[in-house]
Structure 1
Amino acid sequence: MPTTPKALIVATHGFEQSELFEPRRALLDAGVDVRLASLALDPIQGTILDEKADTITPDALIADMRVDDFDMLVLPGGVANPDKLRTDAATVRLVRDFMAAGKPVAAICHGPWLLAEAEVVDGRTVTAWPSIRTDLRHAGATVIDKEVAVDGNLITSRQPEDLPAFNAALLAALGVEQRADA
């Protein structure tokens, strides 16, 4: 019997609600074991644009996560979320470890800021929210304006409206399909 794929979502306060909840739901609906890690175990506050939205309670601490325990890493956007996480050494190290292991790493909207901070986009083709594209270019990436960019194990998208394509790319990278009963 095949093993259940495992995905890790990393987020903190200020995540864009749809960019965490919708990929999480798509993965769960496909039978993927999904864990959420953050900087603390207290509930984290989502946003819809700049307005407070729903909270979610993390399953684990980022500092305790190991790349060997997961098949994929997902990095939601929101402005404050990746901006805070890119100052956390454990988060940056985890992103580097996933990329070095060749496992799928998926980042949407402002999430690719973490990829630039981890110095893993040099020579890669990515997309992202317009305001961080210069940062990605300065980190050596080729930036395109498409709903989803897949470059090897790296999956990136621009914005919440791109979630259907982003989620499809996540499932494809894990080789799973949404269950008919979901």
Structure 2
Amino acid sequence: MKATQVPQIAGAYLFEPTPFADERGFFCRTFDADVVRSVGIDPDSFIQDSLSRSARGVLRGLHLRSGAGEAKLVRCSYGQIFDVVVDLRPDSPTYLGRGFFELSGETQTTLYIPAGCAHGFQALTETADTSYRIDRPHDPAEDVTIAFDDPELSIPWPLPAISMSQRDREAPPLAAVLKHLES
């Protein structure tokens, strides 16, 4: 497994496994504490794993946590997703930077998203399973959502958004969220 720093988002990494493939399929390690530790991330900080299943065109996000934020490892374990990260850390050298990634069950690449970044994705296949490993227990009172179609972000979503939660549909624009986070 190798770790590659993401230039658009300071502190973000892609962890790419080395699969062993044969006539049966493939096997690969999707998490390696030593590799995670080698880039300065505490592998023991992750305390909760979650999984979402989405149909083609489903859009989830853009989400982040207020307060101390939430770091996460995200991987598409089955299917394919278009993944988006927006750096909302005012002191970051990549503040307001955006990163776009295609994660898939074929590659099993994991994306590390630092706390203070917004995250969202869209399913590109009929079924897409997305795994999350987060570093804090979920507290709904800290949930923050940004409009997926905010013109200031100009995210090039590859498909029409066929389905999303009511919270995501009604999300405020980035400017309102930034004002809220400052208070």
- Superposed pair shares fold, TM > 0.5: no
**TM-score after normalising by structure 2:** 0.26
**TM-score after normalising by structure 1:** 0.26
Higher RCO (C-alpha under 8 Å, 6+ residues apart): 2
